[in-house]
Structure 1
Amino acid sequence: MAKELFNRYVWLIDTLQRYGRLTRREIDGLWQRSEYSDGKPMARRTFMNYRQAIQEMFDVNIECDASTYEYYIEDPDALQGNGARVWALNTLAVSNMLNESQELRNRIVLENIPSGQKFLRIVFEAMKENRVLILSYRSFRRVTSSHTLAAPYFVKLFRQRWYVIAKDFTDRKIKTYALDRVASLELSSRTFVYPDSFSPIDYFRDCFGITHDDMPAQEVVLRVPALQANYLRTLPLHESQEELDRNEHGSTFHYRLKITPDFEQEVYALGYWQAEVLSPQTLRDAVAERLSRSLACYGTAGLSCQERGK
């Protein structure tokens, strides 16, 4: 029953997100077509109870315009972005839609997240209780696994992989561990103090992807063709993205971020779309050199890059 109520709250939030403003009658019409109503209308008292529960549980306030009697989400921008609450609500909303569309299940293709889901619950429990993790981890750069004690500060999802950012007790440094590379994970009896001054958002501020670096942020300017610009407008590379100019041939985008290996890799991939780094010159030279080496892989028939490098 609790799960069903939870799903109904998410349904109401998602419905108001999609339609913007709705009267009680309009909400009721959509409600009766949903899987949760059994074809019955939603009683006014039930609706008011849902509003209150949504406010208390999700901190989402549903207001009523007294002049039109329309209901709306007071601060829709709060349901945008990449916070945990937004991610959870979006995930649940999609789950509800899938449940309502069982007859289409063979026509819906989803992506798998091969990232050690079995370890997430342990990590969450460790964060909740401030317990130290006993971690066995095998990096792609190592042949054998490393063993360490780590204090989990927060988790991050990026490119279909879950990561736990934790303080390593061996060298006292904050490190990033991909859960799909964890060999074993268990709770220890040892506890740690999560620093009040630490902010996961600030930790990755000015960063792209999952790589953190103490280097200063730099101003980056990219010039991309018109087609690729459409993709960047709908899915920005970084929250600092700003479109400086635009014409029929392409657009110029400005960013302020740290030039980490993750970002270099992304810019390198954009090179396929003829994206050009205008500044800084160091990044422009690095991408040009890497593209040149990639092109050289096709210059000698019958030999791979690895073979020519021997």
Structure 2
Amino acid sequence: MKKDFYLTRYSLIIKRLERSPATYPELESYLLNSFEFQDAKIVSYSIRTLQRDIKDIANLFNFDIHNKKKGDNRYYIESRPVMEVDEYNQRLIESFQIMNAVNSQPDFAEFVYLENRTPRGIQNFYDLLFAIRNKRIIEFQHFKYKDQSTSSRKVHPMALKESKDRWYLIALDTKDEKLKAFGLDRISDLVVSKAGFKLQQRFDLKEHFKNAFGIMNLEEQPENIIIRSTKEQAEYLKSSPLHHSQKIQRETEKSVYFIYDLYPTYDFIQEILSFGNQVKVMEPKSLINKVKETLEKSIQQYDESSVEEEKS
């Protein structure tokens, strides 16, 4: 059995048992007939390996897998982690599956086309995670896109949050005691201090970001937002919701109406605009006006007078 194949085995075992309980022979047959095992030219899978894999899955993913009796009775997932941890585990499994699939094929570049991405500050990820877990004060230089300036920051790190393929540090700025988000790709000269900190007030970040879309500062109150989508676009929104609060309000012959409980932030407006004429905001009126204002400014850029100004 290949040593670097264990993550693929774990993901396949979980995938099979999520469908229904299975005996060892059923699991063995499922694994050996999978394309992953066939590509790796693996032709055997012992019950001893299965038992070892089950223990490793429990330690790594917090999945409790048991069988009802000794021998070849059915194995099943007895308990699952809380929703947030389960979602993290699923993404971890998916990442490992892709990594193993790509690494196992020397000619993968002919068939798998990855997006070209520039470095996004991930080199500081572990150091930041260490500082968060151990409540260490950190200092760094932060570059601001808006005015192309760099400033020194001293913060109390609290969490790491992902948004649109970018990672952000959520931290309390010691300068003004405000909760802020700092893009990891704009952090440099990071120093993790030996000095610790104790928060003066309790922050429930899970609650803080519950109604958030993106990473913008949440200064407004969440609102019920209703959008109307074409039937075709609705299928994409159903399969990949914009936010966990997304619900279908109603459907007509030509449209689907979705409702959200969200802060009407700049990030959300940009997301809505990205759908073009496939999606329209129906409520609230304040958000409709913001979208219209943004569109009007965009159209103004293409006015003949604006084009002439650029030429001159």
Q: Residues of 1 paired with 2:40 and 2:199: CA distance?
A: 44
Kindly tell me: are residues 288 and 241 of structure 1, through their superposed partners in 2, closer, same or farther at Cα, counting changes over 3 Å? same
Q: Once structures 1 and 2 are overlaid, which stretch shifts more, 52-61 or 77-86?
A: 77-86
**Paired residue secondary structure (1:252):** strand
Question: Is residue 58 of structure 2 the alignment partner of residue 55 of structure 1?
Answer: yes
Question: Is residue 173 of structure 2 the alignment partner of residue 168 of structure 1?
Answer: yes
Equivalent residue runs for 1:22-41 within 5 Å: 22-32=22-32, 34=37, 39-41=42-44
Which residue is 1:215 aligned to?
A: 220
User: Is residue 63–residue 81 contact of structure 2 (8 Å, CA) maintained in 1?
Assistant: no
Q: Residues of 2 paired with 1:302 and 1:281: CA distance?
A: 29
Kindly tell me: are residues 72 and 300 of structure 1, through their superposed partners in 2, closer, same or farther at Cα, counting changes over 3 Å? farther
**Paired residue secondary structure (2:119):** coil
Deviations 1:68-90 (A, max 9, x none): 94434345796788844333233
Q: Residues of 1 paired with 2:63 and 2:241: CA distance?
A: 26
Q: Residues of 2 paired with 1:77 and 1:232: CA distance?
A: 26
User: Is residue 143–residue 149 contact of structure 2 (8 Å, CA) maintained in 1?
Assistant: yes
How far off is 1:31 after superposition? 3.6
How far off is 1:286 after superposition? 1.3
How far off is 1:6 after superposition? 5.5
Question: Is residue 278 of structure 2 the alignment partner of residue 278 of structure 1?
Answer: no
Q: Structure 1 stretches (4+) deviating beyond 6 angstroms? A: 35-38, 79-82
TM-score (norm 2): 0.84
Which residue is 1:121 aligned to?
A: 126
User: Is residue 165–residue 175 contact of structure 1 (8 Å, CA) maintained in 2?
Assistant: yes
What amino acid maps onto 1:260 in structure 2? T
Selected match of 2:250 from 245, 250, 256 = 245
Which residue is 1:91 aligned to?
A: 95
Kindly tell me: are residues 237 and 9 of structure 1, through their superposed partners in 2, closer, same or farther at Cα, counting changes over 3 Å? same
Q: Once structures 1 and 2 are overlaid, which stretch shifts more, 91-100 or 286-295?
A: 91-100
Equivalent residue runs for 1:104-143 within 5 Å: 104-111=108-115, 112=117, 114-143=119-148
Kindly tell me: are residues 100 and 146 of structure 1, through their superposed partners in 2, closer, same or farther at Cα, counting changes over 3 Å? same
How far off is 1:195 after superposition? 7.8
What amino acid maps onto 1:287 in structure 2? V
Q: State the percentage of identical aligned residues.
A: 25
What amino acid maps onto 1:149 in structure 2? K
RMSD over aligned CA atoms reads: 3.3
Which residue is 2:10 aligned to?
A: 10
How far off is 1:218 after superposition? 0.4
Which residue is 1:149 aligned to?
A: 154
Count of aligned residue pairs for this structure pair: 306
Deviations 1:226-268 (A, max 9, x none): 1111111111111111111223311111111111111122122
TM-score (norm 1): 0.84
Gaps of 5+ in 1: none
Equivalent residue runs for 1:224-243 within 5 Å: 224-243=229-248
User: Is residue 278–residue 284 contact of structure 1 (8 Å, CA) maintained in 2?
Assistant: yes
How far off is 1:117 after superposition? 1.7
What amino acid maps onto 2:112 in structure 1? I
Selected match of 1:43 from 24, 32, 46 = 46
**Paired residue secondary structure (1:138):** strand
Q: Residues of 1 paired with 2:279 and 2:79: CA distance?
A: 36
Q: Residues of 2 paired with 1:296 and 1:127: CA distance?
A: 45
Which residue is 1:188 aligned to?
A: 193
User: Is residue 204–residue 212 contact of structure 1 (8 Å, CA) maintained in 2?
Assistant: no
Kindly tell me: are residues 176 and 15 of structure 1, through their superposed partners in 2, closer, same or farther at Cα, counting changes over 3 Å? same
How far off is 1:146 after superposition? 0.6
